[in-house]
Structure 1
Amino acid sequence: MKDLKIPKIHTIKNTPKETLEKWYRLLTIGRAIDEKAPNYLKQAIGWSYHAPYAGHDGIQLAVGQYFEKEKDHMYLYYRDMLTALSSGMTAEEIILNGISKATDPSSGGRHMSNHLAKPEWNIHSVSSATGNHTLHAVGTARAIKYYGEKTVAISNQGESSVSEGYVYEAINGADKEELPVIFVVQDNGYGISVPKKDQTAQRKVANNFIGFKNLRIIHCNGKDIFDSMNAMAEAKRFAIEESKPVLLQANCVRMGSHSNSDDHLLYRSDAERNYVVEYDPLAKFRRLLLRYDRFKEEELLAIEAETKTVIKAAHKAAMGAPDPDPESIHDFVFSEPMVSTKYPEGLHSETGDKKKLITALNETLKAEFRYNPDTFIWGQDMANKDKGGIFNVSKGMQQEFGEKRVFNAPIAEDFIMGTANGMSRFSDKIRVVIEGAEFADYFWPAMEQYIDTSHDLWRSNGKFSPNITIRLASGGYIGGGMYHSQNIEGSLAAIPGVRIVYPSFADDAAGLLRTSIRSEGLTMFMEPKALYQDPKAATVVPDDFEVPFGKARVRRDGDDLTLITYGNTTHLSIEAANKLADEGVSVEVIDLRSLIPLDEETILNSVRKTNKVLIVHEDKVFGGFGGELSAIITEKAFEDLDAPVKRVGSPFTPVGFNRILEQAILPNTERIYKAAKELSEY
């Protein structure tokens, strides 16, 4: 609790008057802003999205009063204006958010209005996907438990959010891990215009989770200040003392429309709208203060007059605040990478015994876990006796580093990704590595969390960097077929905020993995699984080798043609180049290693030298990453080209299971050779 001493059981009679006064001030200020917000839109000032909270007053006041800033961790949802105010944010800060000013502490105007945050207090930035931050709260609670803190993570959301699969994943994971997290479900009976009966068969949605072993379910009247305070007090006590999750369902009413883009007159009857107004929590609290003689009418009128003064001053200050600078759009797209001083180009000349790509990955993971004790890894099949991941990349890690740092996750890719996001929020010293899915093609269920995490840094205006490395076994040439041999990097490359690396050799795999883990921010680490054990990918791997992001590697010098590639096709391209060399054609092979950021300098310098370009990748030609490479070269080196940019990749089909079909689809040395020869003769 905050500075005021409040009894464990709250009633109108035993709560100190100074506390009741504080609550009434917060309630009146919050309601005043709630009612004023639509006027900003009408005057074209801002606040184009506003979800009024009126009818949720009791539970939102209670959650905020029981939140301890810089200690607890809070995840608000878009209707949580009073929760933010009760947690300590000021009226001015809330208006700054509403009208999207540069000094808005939530996002500096980058995120939608009504999405409130203050990361420096552990009031975390969340996106607009309903209830997706439940997974973040679980990840944060995992860190709270690991580091032995006596505190909680709090997730706030509406009742309709529990229809989302990732909310079930979050509650299931918190129950299984016995984590100190409180899921506050504010039930107003509607998901926009969809009534609760169309969401679930249960009258009380919390009862959908009644069979969970460790989950405590608490119901309260979210319209009533005292019932909400008592429920929140018990929820926090239980979560901390028992280190188990709580689902606190607060029965609320929604007095207005869902938001300013909704009109509840279209789907609610006069009787229902009159009913919810009658149950106005603020009006009820005011009547109680008078009925039990805790305040006189003139005292309440004085507080209400002061509220008007507060709102007027907050409005004036916010209106005078600066707007965001258009030039700032490029700030905080990517987090700061680690800078290598020993290997600035990601090259080495060491000799000795060669290591396979899988060995390089395994040894690098272990070295980084020794280097930073705040590094964690989880995923499917990660830690079963001697097994370490589906391909044994993490073999032996749990035995060395323990089950609290290396552990299995449920078969729920969104959970794996979302809890990584949440755990990284606990401390910037934490580094999380996840095996996002057993095969890259299975990563799609995690895309909602991947997208959310990709813009966390930008959305929070640089206040939160998700320091996560996502490992995915990618590509074909193994006879895997659907969900085991597809390529996804072309789709992922269209999403800003994520670095994407794709090594072809053991030393680059080790160096890029080390850089990914040590850097701030989100990195997608694609592993060509067909090369794990392949001798042609084996190299000498120096100790502590580092490969910077955005540094391509010239695998073969040439003068007649530039061949740009990465991943599995790097080796096929080198073979084709060697064959052409025997015929007098000099091919320069560039292994990109890093797709985002991209080493444009190395590419363009080579194009200026050879004047012809062949792009080769395993993914589909149509929509593949090669299309972006071709566009860059055409735009920036058109006058240096003596022939059209040519591409080799897969046709616009899935990769089939039968080896005959796979061979007909995926690029091979002969197809690359023929394309390069044809281009050289252009």
Structure 2
Amino acid sequence: MAAKYPLNRLEHHPTLTPELLRLAYREMCMARCHVERVVQECSKGNIKFAIWGPGEELHGAAQAIAYSEVVNTDAFGISGHYRSAGLLSMWARLRGYDDFHLDHMRQQLSRVTDPWSGGRQMTAHFNDPRFNILPCQSALGMQLGKAVGYAHGMRKKGHDDGVVVAVIGDGSMAESDLHEGMTGASILDLPLLLCVTDNEIAISVKPEDGRGLRDLEAYAKAFGFEFFVANGNDFIEVYETTKAAATYCRDNQRPALVWVRELARLNGHSNAGVYNFVFEAHDCVNDFGEALVEQGILAPDDIITRNEESRGDYYKRHDFGRVGKAADDYIVETMRVAEDEPEPTPESVWDHIYDPYPEAVEPASVGRQTVISLNGAIRAAMRDILDHNPMTWLYGQDVAERGGVMQATKGLWERFPDQVRDAPINEPLILGAAMGFALHEGATAMPEIQFSDYSLNTLHWLVYMGNLLWQTNGTVRANVIARLPVEPLHGGAIYHSMCMEGFYGSIPGLTIVAPTTSRDCYGLLRSAADYSGPVVVFESKGLYRMTLGDAFPGEPSDPEEVKRLKRAIGMQGLIPDLPSDFRVPLGKAAVRREGRDLTIVTWGRCTLFTHEAIATLSERGIDVEMIDLRTIVPPDMDTVLASVRKTGRLLVVHEDRVFASIGREIQGHTIEAMAGSPVVTRVLGQDAVPGIPQNINLEHSIVVSPAKIVAAAEQTMAVELRRPAASASSGRAPTVSEPARTRVLWTPNRAFVG
């Protein structure tokens, strides 16, 4: 049978040697047999879920060869998706990674030997940065934001020949990620090669229902992308087109889009639907084999061909030939090897949720109030981080020339014009690009979301940031420090007043800090940059311009010098010089005041209200111990519990609503940890109305205030501590062991896993 897509123009490509083309065919056969053997196991019920991309083996192999001839592997990355096995297996083979199919099977069977995720991720979540394979995620389209940031990082590392490939299916063109990624690549002028693999279906949705983008070429050109198109079944056409596109990106350091069309989907989307092989469709593996036979590169009895059978599965309806049989035998062997390997142990599920926090010793108190505003401390910390690590990127709306709407970045752009960049009004792009940038080893990304309320559309990225270390089984890290101004302030209304801890506090793996003094702002930011993982910083809008807490070592004390320094920081945007080795440890609360009657745990703007309330409570004979949590996820429960065991009473005060809040979690943890011991607890937050009104009087009536704290404290003190009845036999209360912190079973407890 003649090939529908013969290898025309092969003579024009001397690098496409018979040996290389035989290797490509063998890889295509292995990629196909991997899927079809998994399909058999799904039909038997031995595999519960699988997802795949048969029908895309040819374009993947051709593209991999093209990339290998164009790119500098030290300045290259592939951000693929679940249908990228054909591309990545061939690329891996060309890079000398010979166990790709075995490792793919290990992931499919969820074995501990799976090097990409340790059995934690579903199949086809490829991940091996050693070989330019950026970690895949489940949410479609996010590979574009990662690719933007990764490409920007390559440029910051000094590469002028870098290329980053991002692969999406045609269904993902409906995702907003496409617009975000193309916006980022266009504005940042990046060598991003966007490959759209088009099989004209998204799970079960046809283009008439799933594709509003009618003219992809016009869309690409509107963003300044060079446009290329290729038939995904024509090996030479795909090779030539991809090579031209990759060369364009490399030489011009500009973005391009390759539309790979006419692809067949041969086994459905996954085994969650109909996944019988579509024998009527064009099969690129069979056709490429025929083309190689026509060229004399393979013999007829080497290749996979259709036989006369009209019933049965893929294997019954095909004759495999020598090369096909060897490929299938290898895949069967990978399954046997993986099946014999151990599954992850239940205990291992606790590994790689957080990396250990960096060691930090907090300097002793100076004993007088600081003259450095929180804004000044934040600027100083970011200046020192940017200066210390050239692979640091500050990215956000208005963070450059304007210095941020809160003036927290003022003066940084002038000092670090190549590291501080204004972003478009696109929060998912800001966080996604930061995430991709931070995938470079040693890099730190510092995205700013102008108001935390507008971070809600970045939830995918926050979850991905928090899960990344765990889902890659500790193989991939990203130091992202996301700064979010939070809390109500003077008529901000519904969308400029939110508290975000209730939304984000339950994301596993995130560290969330809420500094409320100048020392904490500087020290926690510096510790966050020393850390290897993601940190979200909640900055209270009402505190930016205030001078709060103890002084830094070496601060001036002369009144005139203090006056000049305050004015320079507040009015002129001065970035003060602070001790560069100053750190505040992550995960450690601060006891701001010791007391014996009542423990108040708080953070953010509520620390000010609590200080004011304590003065009133002291006059009324109530001795309060105040804990500023500082790191609110995971909270320092050791310090909290030590205090509550002393006082027997806990009041948690925060700006957020009480329902489903961090305060409720701390309350629940305390009650469970002190089971059998007398304890009275209460949580105080803003009133449970939908939002903060713009009317100032209404805002003040809803939010936490010193008077409300005093009332809540007195109500907590009014409850009698009831001690459990003593045992008749022993005369003592029963002993209840405190549960281990990582095994506490209240729901949800994920944010507190240490």
Q: TM-score, normalised by structure 2?
A: 0.84
Which whole-Å CA distance do the structure 1 matches of 2:484 and 2:500 have between them?
10
Which runs of structure 2 are paired with 1:54-453 in the superposition (5 Å)?
A: 54-67=54-67, 71-88=75-92, 89-149=99-159, 150-202=161-213, 205-213=216-224, 215-251=225-261, 252-263=263-274, 277=281, 279-300=282-303, 301-340=321-360, 342-343=361-362, 347-349=364-366, 351=368, 353-384=370-401, 387-402=402-417, 404-426=418-440, 428-435=441-448, 437-453=449-465
Which whole-Å CA distance do the structure 2 matches of 1:628 and 1:13 have between them?
65
Which whole-Å CA distance do the structure 2 matches of 1:492 and 1:87 have between them?
38
Give the Å deviation of 1:201: 4.2
Which whole-Å CA distance do the structure 1 matches of 2:478 and 2:637 have between them?
26
Which whole-Å CA distance do the structure 2 matches of 1:10 and 1:623 have between them?
64
**Secondary structure class of the residue paired with 1:124:** coil
Tell me how many residue pairs correspond in the alignment: 656
1:598 to 618, 627, 635: 635
**Secondary structure class of the residue paired with 2:185:** helix
Give the Å deviation of 1:63: 2.9
From the superposition, tell whether residues 353 and 80 of structure 1 become closer, same or farther in structure 2 (CA, over 3 Å). Answer: closer
**Contact 2:650–2:679 at 8 Å: present in 1 too?**
no
Give the Å deviation of 1:319: 1.8
**Contact 2:66–2:240 at 8 Å: present in 1 too?**
no
Give the Å deviation of 1:597: 2.0
Give the Å deviation of 1:299: 4.4
- The more displaced of 538-547 and 668-677 is 538-547
Which whole-Å CA distance do the structure 2 matches of 1:10 and 1:666 have between them?
73
Deviations 1:34-56 (A, max 9, x none): 211112333444361222x2222
**Secondary structure class of the residue paired with 1:183:** strand
**Secondary structure class of the residue paired with 2:496:** coil
Which amino acid letter does the alignment assign opposite residue 648 of structure 1? L
1:22 aligns with 2:23: yes
**Map of 2:310 onto structure 1:** none
Which amino acid letter does the alignment assign opposite residue 544 of structure 2? Y
**Secondary structure class of the residue paired with 1:219:** strand
Which whole-Å CA distance do the structure 2 matches of 1:546 and 1:393 have between them?
19
Which amino acid letter does the alignment assign opposite residue 408 of structure 1? D
Which whole-Å CA distance do the structure 1 matches of 2:293 and 2:214 have between them?
34
From the superposition, tell whether residues 578 and 259 of structure 1 become closer, same or farther in structure 2 (CA, over 3 Å). Answer: same
Give the Å deviation of 1:179: 0.7
Deviations 1:517-571 (A, max 9, x none): 2211000110011011134x25413423211112111111111111111111111
Which whole-Å CA distance do the structure 2 matches of 1:647 and 1:600 have between them?
16
Which whole-Å CA distance do the structure 2 matches of 1:434 and 1:90 have between them?
35
From the superposition, tell whether residues 41 and 70 of structure 1 become closer, same or farther in structure 2 (CA, over 3 Å). Answer: farther
**Contact 2:29–2:328 at 8 Å: present in 1 too?**
no
1:573 to 610, 613, 626: 610
1:458 to 464, 470, 486: 470
- The more displaced of 287-296 and 570-579 is 287-296
Which whole-Å CA distance do the structure 1 matches of 2:106 and 2:65 have between them?
22
Which whole-Å CA distance do the structure 2 matches of 1:10 and 1:181 have between them?
28
Which amino acid letter does the alignment assign opposite residue 243 of structure 2? A
**Secondary structure class of the residue paired with 2:114:** coil
**Contact 1:145–1:243 at 8 Å: present in 2 too?**
no
Which whole-Å CA distance do the structure 2 matches of 1:47 and 1:204 have between them?
39
**Secondary structure class of the residue paired with 1:580:** helix
Deviations 1:21-70 (A, max 9, x none): 1111111111111211112333444361222x222222211233345566
Give the Å deviation of 1:203: 5.2
**Contact 2:67–2:242 at 8 Å: present in 1 too?**
no
Which whole-Å CA distance do the structure 2 matches of 1:338 and 1:680 have between them?
39
Which whole-Å CA distance do the structure 2 matches of 1:12 and 1:547 have between them?
63
Give the Å deviation of 1:315: 2.3
Which whole-Å CA distance do the structure 1 matches of 2:522 and 2:356 have between them?
20
Which amino acid letter does the alignment assign opposite residue 444 of structure 2? R
Identity %: 28
**Contact 2:399–2:420 at 8 Å: present in 1 too?**
yes
Which whole-Å CA distance do the structure 2 matches of 1:564 and 1:187 have between them?
55
**Contact 2:591–2:627 at 8 Å: present in 1 too?**
yes
**Contact 1:11–1:226 at 8 Å: present in 2 too?**
no
**Contact 2:169–2:198 at 8 Å: present in 1 too?**
yes
Which whole-Å CA distance do the structure 2 matches of 1:291 and 1:331 have between them?
54
**Contact 1:356–1:538 at 8 Å: present in 2 too?**
no
**Contact 1:40–1:99 at 8 Å: present in 2 too?**
no
Q: TM-score, normalised by structure 1?
A: 0.92
What is the RMSD of the two structures over their aligned residues, measured on CA atoms? Answer: 2.1
1:547 aligns with 2:584: yes
Give the Å deviation of 1:256: 2.5
**Secondary structure class of the residue paired with 2:62:** helix
From the superposition, tell whether residues 9 and 288 of structure 1 become closer, same or farther in structure 2 (CA, over 3 Å). Answer: closer
**Contact 1:37–1:50 at 8 Å: present in 2 too?**
no
Which whole-Å CA distance do the structure 1 matches of 2:676 and 2:646 have between them?
12
Q: Which runs of 5+ in 1 are unaligned?
A: 1-6
Give the Å deviation of 1:292: 3.3
**Map of 2:749 onto structure 1:** none
**Contact 1:29–1:311 at 8 Å: present in 2 too?**
yes
Which whole-Å CA distance do the structure 2 matches of 1:637 and 1:135 have between them?
45
From the superposition, tell whether residues 369 and 208 of structure 1 become closer, same or farther in structure 2 (CA, over 3 Å). Answer: closer
Name which one, 1 or 2, has greater alpha-carbon Rg.
Answer: 2
Deviations 1:87-126 (A, max 9, x none): 2253212211211111112211111112222232221212
Which amino acid letter does the alignment assign opposite residue 299 of structure 2? K
From the superposition, tell whether residues 307 and 641 of structure 1 become closer, same or farther in structure 2 (CA, over 3 Å). Answer: same
**Map of 2:654 onto structure 1:** 617
1:524 to 520, 536, 542: 536
**Secondary structure class of the residue paired with 1:613:** strand
Give the Å deviation of 1:652: 1.3
Give the Å deviation of 1:8: 14
Which whole-Å CA distance do the structure 1 matches of 2:10 and 2:121 have between them?
37
- The more displaced of 32-41 and 288-297 is 288-297
Deviations 1:383-442 (A, max 9, x none): 12xx2111110100011112x20010111000000011111112x21111110x211111
Which amino acid letter does the alignment assign opposite residue 423 of structure 2? A
1:652 aligns with 2:704: no
Which whole-Å CA distance do the structure 2 matches of 1:210 and 1:87 have between them?
29
Give the Å deviation of 1:235: 1.4
**Secondary structure class of the residue paired with 1:649:** strand
Which whole-Å CA distance do the structure 2 matches of 1:565 and 1:303 have between them?
68
**Map of 1:4 onto structure 2:** none
From the superposition, tell whether residues 466 and 40 of structure 1 become closer, same or farther in structure 2 (CA, over 3 Å). Answer: same
**Secondary structure class of the residue paired with 2:654:** strand
- The more displaced of 488-497 and 79-88 is 79-88
Which whole-Å CA distance do the structure 1 matches of 2:195 and 2:356 have between them?
35
Which amino acid letter does the alignment assign opposite residue 432 of structure 1? A
Which whole-Å CA distance do the structure 2 matches of 1:326 and 1:510 have between them?
39
Deviations 1:624-652 (A, max 9, x none): 21100110111012444353x11211111
